[in-house]
Structure 1
């Protein structure tokens, strides 16, 4: 009966347990029953959750038997390398983040949660490698819901096996916390996948870690002399244009973590390379019904920052979003009513100039002292200090010896919506982890609950520490105070290395609410982790960088062997099935469709090409990345997999491998002749092969709805080109039109204004008169031309404009109005 009780309590809680979003803002199911005696005492197992059974350790928590000698930290000139790669598919795998995603797209790659049916941009893996005197630090941004040691250690092992590069203990992972990217990497018992991670899948873990290792290897290959710098700014988003506090239970004590920190590298000649962008923001712009892989808020932030950087400086950069206190921070970008896809771009539009200004304030250094220390620690009730702290016990006074979650006070005792009430001194009514795990056939200790992976690093007087879960602002504030107490500066990587759900300070946890309920180890875990990390920081301050890697116990959660899934053949050879229209207006959406290959072969790449007069060439990516094109790898297109027959959870010998892409033409795309090139891989039942398809050419020009106003006043001719906003169109669970942010400065229902340079000429009586002029766009002013320089009489004059960068000019005209 008790196992059945545990199972139903767990199932009910897990069905609603993902991070709160539009449909899940309410707290998880009330876990009101108290723990049973076995779970409270641990008497059903011979393993005791105390440090007595662990290997001897040093005062800093490292294994005393380690034989690596303590050497001084290396100091000297730095080298750095950066690289980018992609992690999204296969399309059909489930997305981590929201719990209880109802399965409506059941594929060979998902299990408990719904499978993705396409992608809105590919998730990026970005690596920054810093080397001093042979020692290395690798910071890897990845587009996942969380870090997990399966990915952290898996990437290290893959790098060693596939590339012969050993970075054991030298990798810091930074997950963006998108709720719409690959799941199935968290090695929890399969039924617990309802929490938002789906059941573990070793083939997917292998694919993910292989991609990560490849990017790190590319960054190592890019190592060359470099400079580094770090800086930060408090209260950088005072108007909540980028992100906002979402946790009301701890108001007014804690708001959002208001600091932005940058850690950047560049070449000695000033050539930019990459910058870590460190603040806290959930990836929950899109709601749980979304079926498209996307990096959500973090992806829009990175893309718009990179585009703004290239536009301002003429040089590209990699922006690497890294969470800090994102546990209680929601994304913003909704001030003007734009729909979800455009909203992630508005977040980046609001953040980019502020990040750029802070980047320009960096003081660059040619040398550094570098140190890194990583360790696996055991998590125990006694070790965290609960023997002397009575706030993590059941109603009978028994300890939650192996951890507990879904802790919630009785409504008569505490009101989660009232910050004046507290769980302090009151029953917690938690769900003990021992009973939950044992009801699912697991034993304790369990590697995903009772161990974790931590790293600290030093660059001169700038320090970094990782936290394995979702730290709230209270935790980041505590860590910063700890840095200050040691007279050093630093940053905190949340969602890093491993995952233990939410982390709060004791006073914050006792306020109750969602973040407290979604914690595995009660009020002391975060403080315990930060205090332990500060012990390691002190060792680095003292110049003690060894051992780089240590563990109190070997990992209790390891991978298993797997058989790769078979490939499905395509019924039809690769070929186009739907062409774009011969003419597409700026702001409108076109669709191209084709027969391709099954998702396990990788995502097809759709590239925009333009006829430059000598033939079709790729349109350069707005990010300016070398060799990168305007394509479906970023937030410019929506790509869908629409097989026939539809997925039913099984692999077939063959099916029609159908794909389509929707591309909303930017409002400021230069007029000309374009086409789409589609590259991918297909399987015919015998062998795989690359395919390349090109659509028929199509023209891009002004829409009939576009209008030009030309108003002369005070000798200044003000030009304004506008069009009505295209409608935002949804098809079931994804958009199919009007999804781009065409004009970030106006409301979603307001006319779209062109904000790029124009070429101006004049006609009178349908004949050209005067010269041709370039009219720049000035932010806050618009297109203003000094009419006196034209030397013309305005009476009867018609203004005629096209975009300065048009390949084949497309004109729009209007009579001059005014005196």
Structure 2
């Protein structure tokens, strides 16, 4: 069971909550089988770690959000189980150097052109049902100043690959060893009448377009099989100051520390290491707030490939060493699944760590952390190849189930002083290359984000505009951007009602090419959601539409 979240990371506690839920629902043990991992988008939700000091890293823990996330994770797994059917599996490897760039000068220039692809076809009709792509791309296209909730680069890959099919295909991006890999910036000549569009969103689409090009170029050559091993095994590796062999005066912080050397510049290849990096660390002060003192590691097989998980952000060099070490034991190609099962910050080789920089400051157990985890992953590979071989690393224990987090006071829904309606309407005519903007009055996002659907005139009626695979074009995909301005603003703690101004932006011609077909069509935007109007007893559903607008050919 591989579950991927659009978050900066995942915790072992969140995974343990999901394991408990699934074991109750399915009536069988799933701890060995479950891989919970993140894309590492920097524009995803936080507030999911119940440790007091971690508010510095991801804001205050919010139990109601935690429960909602676990509910959603359980739901998606149970939906997948209900959708099980016979299938063929196959792997191929695309090649590209355009999707990422080495951002760290402290170690030798790196590039990993391999882009492994897992293809899943239904046995019943031969159609492709799912695709997984494995690569390393840091999710940092959008900055914190943009206040965006976004999949970032990984979403571009998933959307543009899915766009190449004529039927719905579930595409999953699986993150790798991305600690030192920034997103690339592949170039495509834009249409002459392309809209002025958010540069980060455009770059995500260009990344996706390049990925789709190289994936689809080799897709039909993937050899498929109806048989194969699917198996997983999970163990836990312990980590702390003593296990890492530090002298107490060398690494003084019993519960771990972060931001070591944050005030120093990174030293590039050829420059001497910085001996002062351990003098400026920010310690985790108590056992309740400690850095992880163990992490689940999972190894397994999917057909002719093996895979290993890694708990956090691993450098390209460390990821390669782990992968090659396991390949030597198993005699199989190995997929490296980063940001999985637990989050331990950045993991670098010992000598690399002493060069400093942002990545070094993000390690939670100092310069020996990365090598410790990689040694454990390689040892797990040896044990997987020889099941009777005892594990040669200090082991952790099964984590307690967190929570239950059932005693919180639900966050109140803010009423709106106005009914749902159009505040600023679409133009009657839109030039090719124009960005169509419509602002609606909708409900509190705590009732769920509204959904905007693009519709086209069809005789006297309206029909949804669809992608080539038949899915509706909505604000849940990359075709448009939905933003919110509350009035009064959230900082106004005295407000008793707010107007929630939802604005949708739709570029008629995209700089990266592709997107929904809108030229020469008469369209409208329909917003649906829920709203609590001031004075009403309960929230109500609504659906409102913009005026019709015609896009130039």
TM-score, structure 1 as length reference:
0.60
Alpha-carbon distance in 2 for matches of 1:299, 1:203: 26
Cα deviation digits, residues 320-354 of structure 1 (max 9, x gap): 11111110000122657982221111111122111
Indicate the residue corresponding to 1:618 in structure 2: 464
Paired residue secondary structure (1:611): strand
1:183 CA displacement: 1.3
Equivalent residue in structure 2 for 1:172, among 35, 38, 42: 35
Residues 165 and 217, structure 1, Cα contact 8 Å, conserved in 2: no
Of the three residues 80, 94, 106, the one matched with 1:219 is 80
RMSD: 3.0
Cα offset, 1:658, TM superposition: 2.6
1:608 CA displacement: 0.7
Corresponding residue for residue 694 of structure 1: 545
- Unpaired segments ≥5 residues, structure 2: 190-196, 511-516
Q: Which residue of 1 aligns with 2:344?
A: 500
Asked if structure 1 preserves the Cα contact closer than 8 Å seen for 2:142 and 2:148, the reply is no
* 1:281 and 1:330 in contact (8 A); partners too: yes
The Cα shift of 1:461 comes to 4.3
In the aligned structure 1, how far is the partner of 2:149 from the partner of 2:62?
Answer: 18
1:262 equivalent in alignment to 2:99: no
Note if 1:201 corresponds to 2:62.
yes
Displacement, 1:637? 1.4
- Structure 1 CA distance, aligned partners of 2:343 and 2:494? 32
Q: Secondary structure at the match of 2:297?
A: strand
Tell me the equivalent position of 2:177. Answer: 325
1:237 aligns with 2:96: yes
C-alpha distance after superposition, 1:6-27 (max 9, x if no partner) = xxxxxxxxxxxxxxxxxxxxxx
Partner SS, residue 278 of structure 2: coil
For the residue of structure 1 that corresponds to 2:212, the secondary structure is helix
Counterpart in the other structure of 1:403: 256
Counterparts of 2:71 and 2:388, CA distance in 1 = 32
SS of corresponding position for 2:284:
helix
Q: How does 1:228-307 map to 2 (within 5 A)?
A: 228-233=89-94, 236-238=95-97, 241-252=98-109, 255-268=110-123, 269-307=125-163
Query: How many angstroms apart in 2 are the aligned matches of 1:220 and 1:670?
Result: 41
Tell me, yes or no, if the aligned pair for 2:91 and 2:223 is still in contact at 8 Å.
yes
Q: Post-superposition shift, 1:318?
A: 2.0
- Residues 243-264 of structure 1 show CA distances to partners (whole Å, capped at 9, x for unaligned) of 1111111125xx1333222223
CA contact (8 A) 2:10 2:339 kept: yes
- In structure 1, which of residues 488, 512, 532 is the aligned counterpart of residue 332 of structure 2? 488
Cα 1:594–1:201, aligned 2, differ >3 Å: closer, same or farther? Answer: same
Q: Cα distance 1:402–1:575, how it changes in 2: closer, same or farther (>3 A)?
A: closer
Rg larger for:
1
Indicate conservation of the 8 Å contact 2:10/2:342, yes or no. Answer: yes
Which string of whole-angstrom CA distances, capped at 9 and with x for unpartnered residues, describes residues 120-146 of structure 1?
xxxxxxxxxxxxxxxxxx112221111
Structure 1 unaligned spans of 5+: 1-137, 387-391, 703-819
Corresponding residue SS for 1:524: helix
Provide the C-alpha distance between the structure 2 equivalents of 1:214 and 1:483, rounded to a whole number of angstroms: 33
- Name the CA distance, whole Å, in 1 between partners of 2:35 and 2:464: 35
**Residue 340 in 1 paired to residue 203 in 2?**
no
Closer, same or farther in 2 for the Cα pair 1:398/1:198, shift >3 Å? closer
Between the aligned partners of 1:398 and 1:635, the Cα distance in structure 2 is: 46
Q: 1:256 to 1:402 in 2, by over 3 A?
A: farther
CA contact 2:277–2:354 (8 Å) conserved in 1: no
Name 2:194's counterpart in structure 1: none
C-alpha contact (below 8 Å) 1:407/1:517 kept by paired residues? yes
Per the alignment, in what secondary structure is the counterpart of residue 487 of structure 2? coil
How far apart in 2 are the matches of 1:187 and 1:261?
35
Q: Give runs of aligned pairs for residues 258-657 of structure 1, distance below 5 A.
A: 258-268=113-123, 269-307=125-163, 309-310=164-165, 314-333=166-185, 335=187, 339-384=199-244, 386=245, 392-393=246-247, 396-397=249-250, 401-408=254-261, 416-423=266-273, 426=275, 428-431=277-280, 436-438=283-285, 442-443=286-287, 448-486=291-329, 487-542=331-386, 552-555=396-399, 558-559=402-403, 560=405, 561-613=407-459, 615-622=461-468, 624=469, 626=470, 628-648=471-491, 650=493, 652-657=495-500
Provide the C-alpha distance between the structure 2 equivalents of 1:691 and 1:398, rounded to a whole number of angstroms.
58
Match of 1:673 among 522, 528, 537: 522
Greater Cα offset, 557-566 or 157-166: 157-166
Q: 1:205 to 1:366 in 2, by over 3 A?
A: same
Q: Does 1:682 align with 2:531?
A: yes
The offset of 1:400, in angstroms, is 5.1
Q: 1:376 to 1:650 in 2, by over 3 A?
A: farther
Counterpart Cα distance in 1 of 2:413 and 2:293: 38
Query: Helix, strand or coil: the match of 1:228?
Result: strand
Question: Is the contact between residue 257 and residue 476 of structure 1 (CA under 8 Å) also seen in structure 2?
Answer: no
Query: Using the alignment, how far apart are the partners of 1:165 and 1:700 within structure 2?
Result: 55
In terms of fraction of residues, the more strand-rich structure is: 1
Contact 2:255 2:284 in 1 (8 A): no
Q: How has the CA–CA distance of structure 1 residues 613 and 165 changed in structure 2, closer, same or farther, with 3 Å as cutoff?
A: farther
- Number of equivalenced pairs: 531
Secondary structure of the residue aligned to 1:319 is strand
Shift of the 206–484 alpha-carbon distance from structure 1 to 2, 3 Å rule, reads same
Partners of 2:203 and 2:417 lie apart in 1 by: 39
Residue 146 of structure 1 is matched in structure 2 by 9
CA deviations 1:265-315 (Å, max 9, x no partner) are: 2212431112221111111112221112111111112111211x22xxx33
Q: CA distance change for structure 1 residues 432 and 674 in 2, over 3 Å: closer, same or farther? A: closer
